[in-house]
Amino acid sequence: MVDIAGILLTGLQQGAIFALLGLGLTIILGTMEFLNLAHGALYLIGAYMGLFIVREVSVQEGLLAGIAADPAAVGLGSSFLVALILTPILMFVIGVAMERFVARPLYDRTEVEQLLLTFGLALIIEELAREFVGSQPFSSYAPDKLLGFTVSGQADVPLVGLYPRWRFVVIGLTFLLIGLSYLIIERTDFGLIVKAGTRDSEMVRMLGIDITRSYALVFGVGAALAGLAGLVGGTIIDVAPGIGTNNALVPAFLTVVIGGAGSVVGAIAGGIILGMVAAVFQFQAPQWSQIVLFGFVAVFLLVRPGGLFGSVEVGE
Amino acid sequence: MSDDTETDGGTTVDVTPEEENLVDRLVAAKDGERFVAVAAFVGVFAMPFLLIDVLGVFDTLIGLSLGGFVGLPTLILSFGIVAVGYNILLGYTGLLSFGHAALFGSAAYAAGIFSNNVVASPLLAVVAGIVVATLLSWPIGFLSIRRSGVYFAVLTLTFGQMLYFYAFGPGSWLTNGDDGYTPFDVAGGPDLFGSLAMDASITTLFRDVTGLTLTLTDGLDMTVGYMLAALVSVLAIVVAHRIIKSPYGLILKAIGQNEQRVAFVGLNVFRYKLMAFILSGVFAGAGGALYALSKAGLTVHPNATLYWVVSGDFVIITAVGGVGSLAGPLIGAVVFEYIRLVVQGITVPGTEFQIGSLWRLLLGVVFVVVVTLFPDGIYGGLSSLGDRLVERFGAATDDRRPVEEVEETGGDD
């Protein structure tokens, strides 16, 4: 008998990752009205980045197996903390580059063309991953120790009972990241520009603010968030080329749809709601959980098209 | 460009008989229904020969396995039919659906389940597939069309995924879940008209009737199953052509260009969009059923039929081939299936290098390049090349154009 508290915790933990993903997607969508179907691919890159920073893994297939000096131990085998610092920085750079070379030429193209091209890009990134490291799934890389604390094994928590320690860390970590992004967007000048840009980018430009540079920054932050979601997600589920679309892109879009496009609070709420619904049904009726999840989103979208906190409806 | 909605689509062509030469006559006939039917007929029956025999020549000459295999043309046709219908939705009405796998897959399962449980007849299986896909596209379309843009795409995706997970889990009693469903127990499938075996080829039929041995190449020696698929395809192409050229099709096209204007004229946009969705569902049904027929003795799996990635494949096929044209999606289907099933088996001559799993990467690159450089797809690129050739060799270039277009482009020329 699993406690209700345990289910809710699992929901919270899944939801927090969804929220992180949705957050990255929604600020890009809200600021630039750019639909990035390659968002899941950024998650994928983040997950692989984490894998090769944290672990030394044996790569059996793919180009990397041929290139690497020792295919049996590819990776830095460094600590999770290093990954936590390196991943967002690298992902930020990737995001900025992506804005410059992929998104910028597409701003004045139609929505359908944006979807098609970023979909193609997602396909290419996923296949590049498959080419380099092969299709084999790598087991998740939750660390044993973080900052000197033991984070593996089970913790005995009142009300909840035995629950994996690492999941608590994940919940804490993601909420810390979410809070940090929330502060950046709500409390800094950069956030103010981003938020103003979601309302009326032309007006921002008229005020003499170079919003193009902000676009690059927003894309970088969005990519860093997606990468962090991948890094955290990779400690819970196995890393394989398919996770980008299945475990990240689709949930990220569902999260944004529930929360409302462009809304930071919406992405957080949407992610947690989605995680909770998924967790409850995974426990109650595992076979039906995905069906209920998608059905939930469909009903939600039909009843509340603007999402929970959405102000603008993209594509309307 | 908004003026296009008011013209007749630039299709009516009046060429005075004295002035025409061969090129102009061909161009004039290009959009006629009879021309489309004949071209489709020639195309589908020549395709196996071109893919298997002509490209197979490379195989024997330089050991480069460019040739297709015998089952390839059937797969191309089943995906091509879906794409032709999908194009009515994406290319003309401007709706990007990520849920057509649901319609395609349901039809595939329906065709199989129908033949295993009701009557084992290929023709009726196709009908069953079409009926189920049509009935399913009505509610999915009815709900999804309430939203537009990315929300429409997400809604169609959710409905598709619900069906996929149903077929995988709770619906296993019907679909056999992850193990896959065997649409037809008989090897090669049930007999057409009760007597023609679907996997019988022309040479076998000839031998059975006359007792003589006829030698044909693999490509020319089509099976009954392929011929059925080919005839259904010709029918589908002609029907799609008629829809696109009809006033109804013009309204769909107008919606794709400026929905608001169409609403201002007093037309019920919702109804037209829904009809476009259902029409594309009919084609998806036919394609799905033909796919199931080609899987006789094998299995139909949710991952290959209902999964949203398959919907993405339809998007790729249509966009690569060319949205907004009849031939585009068919070209897209050939290119897609060729890369998917033939290119992956190619070994670069003289080296050990195999394309193998690189095919998807190649496909992604082809997709991105085509969408970036030719927004109208391969067909769009080819037809603009064709236009240039016509201008070069055609005598009555200007008379060929509708009056409005001449006026519009007069300044540029």
Mutate to test the interface with A, among B90, B144, B368 (most CBs of A within 10 A): B368
Cβ-Cβ contacts under 8 Å, B255 against chain A: none
* Contact (CB, 8 A) for B197 and B191: yes
Strand partners, A138: A239
Answer yes or no: do A291 and B357 touch at CB < 8 A: no
Among B83-87, B340-344, B363-367, whose mean pLDDT is lowest?
Answer: B340-344
pLDDT band at B401 (very low <50, low <70, confident <90, very high): very low
| Each residue's pLDDT tens digit, A214-266 | 888 888 989 999 999 999 988 888 888 888 887 888 889 889 888 887 788 88
pTM of structure: 0.84
CA nearest B112: which of B306, B333, B279? B306
Residue with tokens 């896909």: B133
> How far is Cα A36 from Cα A49, in angstroms, rounded to an integer?
20
| Each residue's pLDDT tens digit, A33-48 | 788 888 999 999 999 9
Give the angle A290-B107-A299 at the CA atoms, nearest 5°.
Answer: 35
- Given a cut of 70, whether residue B350 has pLDDT beyond it is no
Average pLDDT over residues B12-31: 62
CA distance B360 to chain A (A): 6
Mutate to test the interface with A, among B86, B151, B317 (most CBs of A within 10 A): B151
Encoded tokens for B345: 């088996």
- Helix, coil or strand: residue B181: strand
> How far is Cα A74 from Cα A59, in angstroms, rounded to an integer?
7
Encoded tokens for B117: 């449980």
Provide the 8-state DSSP code for A256: H
> How far is Cα B140 from Cα B285, in angstroms, rounded to an integer?
14
Question: In A, what residues contact B, Cβ < 8 A?
Answer: 35, 111-113, 115-117, 119-121, 123-124, 126-128, 130-131, 135, 245, 250, 253-254, 257, 286-288, 290-291, 294-295, 297-298, 301-302, 305, 313-316
**pLDDT value of position B8:** 46
Average pLDDT over residues A134-150: 77
**pLDDT value of position B189:** 63
pLDDT band at B102 (very low <50, low <70, confident <90, very high): very high
Compute how many other C-beta atoms are within 10 angstroms of the C-beta atom of residue A4. 11
Give, in order, the Cα–Cα distances in Å from A41 to each of A100, A121, A220, A244: 17, 8, 14, 5
> Which residues neighbour B300 within 8 Å (Cβ) at sequence distance 6 or greater?
B105, B108, B109, B112, B180, B181, B182, B183, B291, B292
* Contact (CB, 8 A) for A166 and A159: no
**pLDDT value of position B338:** 87
Compute how many other C-beta atoms are within 10 angstroms of the C-beta atom of residue B170. 15
CA distance A47 to chain B (A): 20
In the Cβ-directed half-sphere of B379, how many Cα atoms lie within 13 Å?
21
- Average of per-residue pLDDT values in chain A: 83
Residue with tokens 């610092």: A85
Residue A295, classified by CB atoms within 10 Å of its CB into exposed (0-12), middle (13-18) or buried (19+), is: middle
- Nearest by CB to residue A305, choosing from B151, B308, B357, is B151
* Contact (CB, 8 A) for A75 and A55: yes
- Given a cut of 60, whether residue B399 has pLDDT beyond it is no
Average pLDDT over residues B210-239: 84
Give percent of chain B above pLDDT 90: 30
- Nearest by CB to residue B371, choosing from A117, A254, A288, is A117
Average pLDDT over residues A202-219: 82
* Contact (CB, 8 A) for A126 and A241: yes
Average pLDDT over residues B323-337: 90
Encoded tokens for B113: 């389940």
**pLDDT value of position B63:** 66
- Given a cut of 70, whether residue A27 has pLDDT beyond it is yes
**pLDDT value of position B88:** 93
Average pLDDT over residues B58-66: 70
**pLDDT value of position B403:** 44
Average pLDDT over residues B44-58: 81
The one-letter amino acid at A221: V
| Each residue's pLDDT tens digit, B121-169 | 888 999 999 999 999 999 999 999 988 877 888 899 999 999 999 998 8
* Contact (CB, 8 A) for B286 and B130: yes
Among A63-67, A247-251, A295-299, B199-203, whose mean pLDDT is lowest?
Answer: A63-67
- Average of per-residue pLDDT values in chain B: 81
Please report the DSSP string for B88-147 in residue order: IIIIIS----S-HHHHHHHHHHHHHHHHHHT---HHHHHHHHHHHHHHHHHHHHHHHTTS
Identify which has the larger pLDDT, A227 or B295: A227
- Given a cut of 50, whether residue A9 has pLDDT beyond it is yes
> How far is Cα A230 from Cα A21, in angstroms, rounded to an integer?
9
Answer yes or no: do B364 and A315 touch at CB < 8 A: no
**pLDDT value of position A314:** 46
Encoded tokens for A68: 């690497």
> How far is Cα B393 from Cα A276, in angstroms, rounded to an integer?
67
Identify which has the larger pLDDT, B409 or A70: A70
Answer yes or no: do B361 and A128 touch at CB < 8 A: yes
- Given a cut of 80, whether residue A77 has pLDDT beyond it is no
pLDDT band at A1 (very low <50, low <70, confident <90, very high): very low
**pLDDT value of position B186:** 59
CA distance B99 to chain A (A): 12
- Helix, coil or strand: residue A137: coil
CA nearest B90: which of B291, B268, B248, B321? B321
Kindly state the helix (H) or strand (E) to which residue A35 belongs, with its residue range. Answer: none
Encoded tokens for A12: 């919270």
Cβ-Cβ contacts under 8 Å, A301 against chain B: 147, 151, 154-155, 158
Give, in order, the Cα–Cα distances in Å from B273 to each of A113, B93, B248: 20, 7, 11
Highest-scoring range by mean pLDDT, A8-17, A84-93, A210-219, B301-310 = A84-93
> How far is Cα B270 from Cα B27, in angstroms, rounded to an integer?
35
**pLDDT value of position B81:** 94
pLDDT band at B20 (very low <50, low <70, confident <90, very high): low
**pLDDT value of position A165:** 81
> How far is Cα B96 from Cα A111, in angstroms, rounded to an integer?
10
CA nearest B252: which of B95, B50, B40, B31? B95
* Contact (CB, 8 A) for B317 and B168: no
Residue with tokens 């967002």: A88
**pLDDT value of position A31:** 75
Give the angle A184-A189-A193 at the CA atoms, nearest 5°.
Answer: 95
φ, ψ (nearest 5 deg) of residue B348: -65, 125
- Nearest by CB to residue A120, choosing from B165, B169, B364, is B364
Kindly state the helix (H) or strand (E) to which residue B5 belongs, with its residue range. Answer: none
Residue with tokens 């059996």: A60
Highest-scoring range by mean pLDDT, A57-66, A183-192, A217-226, A241-250 = A217-226
**pLDDT value of position B143:** 93
Strand partners, A164: A154
> How far is Cα A136 from Cα A105, in angstroms, rounded to an integer?
35
Encoded tokens for B309: 């990635």
Question: In B, what residues contact A, Cβ < 8 A?
Answer: 90, 94, 96, 143, 146-155, 157-159, 161-162, 165-166, 169-170, 308-309, 312, 315-316, 319, 357-358, 360-361, 363-365, 367-368, 371-372, 375
Compute how many other C-beta atoms are within 10 angstroms of the C-beta atom of residue B383. 18
> How far is Cα B353 from Cα B356, in angstroms, rounded to an integer?
9
CA nearest A215: which of A34, A74, A57, A42? A34
The complex's ipTM works out to 0.83
Give, in order, the Cα–Cα distances in Å from A133 to each of A48, A61, A127, B392: 9, 6, 10, 51
- Given a cut of 70, whether residue A302 has pLDDT beyond it is yes
* The length of chain A, given as a count of residues: 316
Provide the 8-state DSSP code for B51: I
Compute how many other C-beta atoms are within 10 angstroms of the C-beta atom of residue B37. 15
Cβ-Cβ contacts under 8 Å, B146 against chain A: 302, 305
* Contact (CB, 8 A) for A261 and A305: no
Encoded tokens for A263: 């809304």
> How far is Cα B138 from Cα B34, in angstroms, rounded to an integer?
31
Answer yes or no: do A301 and B90 touch at CB < 8 A: no
Average pLDDT over residues A206-214: 80
Among A218-227, B76-85, B187-196, B253-262, whose mean pLDDT is lowest?
Answer: B187-196
φ, ψ (nearest 5 deg) of residue A294: -70, -35
CA distance B158 to chain A (A): 5
Average pLDDT over residues A12-17: 90
Give, in order, the Cα–Cα distances in Å from A251 to each of A273, B228, B257: 11, 41, 31
